Structure 1
Amino acid sequence: MKKIINSRPEIKESLIEPFRKMEDILSLSCVIGDSMERANIMRHDMKPKAADKKIIGPAVTVKLTAGDIVDCLDVFEIAKPGDVIVIEAFGETETSIWGGLMSGLARNAGVVGAVIDGSCRDTDEAKMLDFPITAKVCGPRAAHTAYSGRKEPLEINVPVTCGGVIVNPGDLVVADEIGVAVVPYNNLEEVYEKAQKQADMEIATREEILKGASVEELLAKFGRI
């Protein structure tokens, strides 16, 4: 058995806040993914299971062990307001590692969402709490921790693989109804500049389409559709 709990990395909120202000941008995960030339996009089956709201924030990562899924309650000692909890659960579909009480604890801690490469449950409670969860599946079987009392093996704030993407502590997670994109922390400024430029162009293109512009006119003006 092992338990590894690393401290939360230092994160400049000034690098995160501009992305939070993009919350109203349509298809935000697509815009972010395009700005990284289609890299760092999670698998298509990572979809919202609870509250209908975007998830935007730096990752606090959790790595579980295949075949021995435990509750990750220790993460609440690390997470800070604005964080996103990202869990590597090896795509486990029959054991849920996040439930309604976890959603309540996360909301109280100021966590803005959870992204789980595995299963969650109690999604009705999460909706009541207005807490967003993106996961591979949802199902009623709980982890064994409530019965065994065991909370390890568990690793917190280590590199994880979630939805086919490597996520490091502090990387930016952007999840919406379409999917999930992850921006490496060291690339935040570059990606934001590209994403905002693309978002502005898409808004302008959308307006031209509503005015009746043709494909040729759009390509001539914007260079892409």
Structure 2
Amino acid sequence: MKNIVHARVETDRSLVDKFVALKNVMSISCVVGDCMERDGIMHSSMKMRSVNKPFIGTAFTVKLSSGFLADCLAIFQYAKPGDVIVIDAFGDTETSIWGGLMSGLARNAGIVGAVIWGSARDTDEARMLDFPIVSKSVSPREAHSALTQLFEPIELNCPVSCGGVIVNPGDIVVADEIGVSVVPYAQAEEVYARAVKQAAAEEASRNDILSGATVEQLLKKYGRV
């Protein structure tokens, strides 16, 4: 069975860039999740495993085969700079389908991060490369491809399940040390406007707290804490 490669979903780069500009907003995954009324938030096991480096980009999705988790080298033929590789490895915690060489190749390709519903390894090498990985687990056990030289079947640019969230190609992935939130591309304009507004309100309330504001004052001024 050969790999299945779907046509790339085109996105408005200027809209994506506006989201990318928010990556240093404090608790940005929380801000975005709040603006989607708690939708689109991946499972709490999905954590930064190499560098604590927030990243935001368009989802380039990868679906592996359950019970046959091959290395996904095929992504480097199709992924573009600014992409986040989102891999559905069926939540397998013991077979790592991303390692140090993948991190190096991804960094060279301009990929901004990897989000893996499964396991990664060589996180020390990824840290040296300053390449961020989010995964469910970390394990030394490699995928079978190095032994079998089998790299198929893999499906690219298709809807995947990752961390309990359905991720479609082109969705906007927001990751930080707290977790991962995924913005459906069709909702991106609306969510961005809400996120900018909420981030500004949170920064203002944070400054008020540092100046000694009380809970009552904050609720009266902002309607929330």
- Shorter chain as denominator, the TM-score bin is over 0.9
Letter in 2 for 1:122: D
SS at match of 2:194: helix
Structure-1 residue corresponding to 2:60: 60
**1:15 aligned counterpart, secondary structure:** helix
Aligned residue for 2:155, secondary structure, equals: strand
The corresponding residue for 1:163 is 163
The alpha carbon displacement at 1:146 in A equals: 1.0
**What's the TM-score, normalizing by structure 2?**
0.99
1:88 corresponding residue in structure 2: 88
Write the distance in 2 (CA, Å) between the matches of 1:66 and 1:105.
25
Matches within 5 A, 1:25-64: 25-64=25-64
Q: What TM-score do you get using the length of structure 1 for normalisation? A: 0.99
| Cα drift, residue 7 of structure 1 | 2.7
CA distance in 2, matches of 1:183, 1:20: 13
% identity of equivalent residues = 62
Instruction: Report the counterpart of residue 70 of structure 2 in structure 1.
Output: 70
Q: Does 1:188 align with 2:203?
A: no
The answer to whether residue 140 in structure 2 is matched with residue 140 in structure 1 is yes
Equivalent position SS for 2:202? helix
- In structure 2, list runs of 5 or more residues that go unmatched: none
- How many Å apart are 1:24 and its aligned residue? 1.6
Question: How far 1:51 moved relative to its partner?
Answer: 1.5
CA deviations 1:114-169 (Å, max 9, x no partner) are: 00000000000000000000000010010011111111121000000000000000
Q: Aligned partners of 1:50 and 1:118: how far apart in 2?
A: 15
Secondary structure at the aligned position of 2:116 is classed as strand
Question: Does the CA contact (< 8 Å) of 1:7 and 1:78 recur in 2?
Answer: no
Give distance in 2, aligned partners of 1:3 and 1:111: 21
| Counterpart contact for 1:35–1:195, Cα < 8 Å | yes
- 1:3 deviates by 1.5
| Count of residue correspondences | 225
Task: Please say if residues 27 and 176 of structure 1, whose CA atoms lie closer than 8 Å, have aligned partners that are also in contact.
Answer: yes
Q: Distance in 2 between matches of 1:145 and 1:119?
A: 15
Structure 1: distance between partners of 2:159 and 2:116: 14
* Equivalent in the alignment of 2:3: 3
| Offset of residue 77 of structure 1 | 0.7
State the 4+ residue runs in structure 1 displaced beyond 2 angstroms.
Answer: none
Match of 2:79 in 1: 79
Does the 8 Å CA contact 2:24/2:54 hold for their aligned counterparts?
no
Q: Distance in 2 between matches of 1:97 and 1:23?
A: 26
CA distance in 1, matches of 2:137, 2:117: 8
- Matching of residue 174 in structure 1 with residue 171 in structure 2: no
Please, what is the CA RMSD of the aligned residues?
0.7
Query: Which amino acid in the other structure matches residue 87 of structure 1?
Result: I
Which residue does 2:123 correspond to in 1? 123
Match of 1:154 in 2: 154
